[in-house]
C-alpha cells in the first residue's frame, strides 16, 4: 500500500491525470471516500488526460454511469452512490465495461460481489480543515509495478 498527502484539489486532479498513462483495457480502479472527498476530481483528471481533451467530465451520480469513447480503451465511469440493489449494476453494463474498457467505480462497497479482485483500490480521506487529501493506493499484483514510481512523483507519507 502506498499513501500520499495531496494538498489541494489541483493535486488530486494531477494525481488522477498521472494515472492516465498507466491504464489499459480491462483495468478496474475503485474510488472510495466520503462525499466531497475528491473521487470525481481524481476521475476527471484521469479521463480528461486519457481523452486528451478539456471536455467537461461530470459526476455520474444521477445517471450512475458515463461512458467516454476514444481510440484508446473506452472509459466507463460508474458512481454507485444511489444504487439501491447491487444487482442493478448488471443493467448498467458492468460486464461490457470489464470486458474491453477501463472501469472506474466510485462507491464500490455498494456492489463488491461484482468487482474483480485484480483492481487498484484508491481510498481518499479528506482533512476538512486543511482541504488536504490522504490517498491510499491498495494495489493488486497487476498494479504493483505500474504504480511504484508514484513514490517519486508525489509526496509519500
**For residue 104, what are the CA distances in angstroms to 7, 56, 98?**
23, 17, 10
- Radius of gyration, alpha carbons of the chain: 14
pLDDT score recorded for residue 157: 40
pLDDT score recorded for residue 2: 79
pLDDT score recorded for residue 152: 55
pLDDT score recorded for residue 151: 58
- Cβ count near 59 (within 10 Å): 16
Q: What domains does the chain contain, in order, with CATH numbers?
A: 2-153 (3.40.50.300)
pLDDT score recorded for residue 133: 87
Q: What is the pLDDT along the chain (157 residues), one digit of tens a residue?
A: 778 888 888 999 999 999 998 898 999 999 999 988 889 999 999 999 999 999 899 888 888 999 999 888 999 999 999 888 888 888 888 888 888 899 999 999 988 888 888 889 999 988 877 778 888 888 777 787 777 766 556 654 4
**Do 24 and 73 meet the contact criterion of CB atoms below 8 Å apart?**
yes
d(CA 74, CA 93): 13
pLDDT score recorded for residue 141: 72
**Do 80 and 63 meet the contact criterion of CB atoms below 8 Å apart?**
no
Amino acid at each position: 500500500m502506498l499513501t500520499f498527502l495531496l494538498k489541494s484539489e489541483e493535486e488530486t486532479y494531477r494525481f488522477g491525470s498521472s494515472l492516465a498513462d498507466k491504464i489499459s483495457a480491462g483495468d478496474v480502479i475503485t474510488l472510495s471516500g466520503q462525499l466531497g472527498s475528491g473521487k470525481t476530481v481524481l476521475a476527471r483528471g484521469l479521463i480528461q488526460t486519457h481523452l486528451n481533451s478539456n471536455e467537461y467530465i461530470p459526476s455520474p451520480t444521477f445517471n450512475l454511469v458515463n461512458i467516454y469513447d476514444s481510440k484508446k480503451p473506452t472509459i466507463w465511469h460508474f458512481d454507485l452512490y444511489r444504487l439501491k440493489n447491487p444487482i442493478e449494476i448488471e443493467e448498467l453494463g458492468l460486464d461490457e465495461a470489464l470486458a474491453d474498457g477501463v472501469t472506474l467505480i466510485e462507491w464500490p462497497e455498494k456492489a463488491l460481489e461484482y468487482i474483480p479482485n485484480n483492481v487498484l483500490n484508491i481510498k481518499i480521506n479528506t482533512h476538512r480543515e486543511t482541504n488536504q487529501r490522504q490517498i491510499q493506493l491498495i494495489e493488486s499484483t497487476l498494479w504493483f509495478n505500474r504504480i511504484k514510481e508514484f513514490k517519486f512523483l508525489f509526496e509519500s507519507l
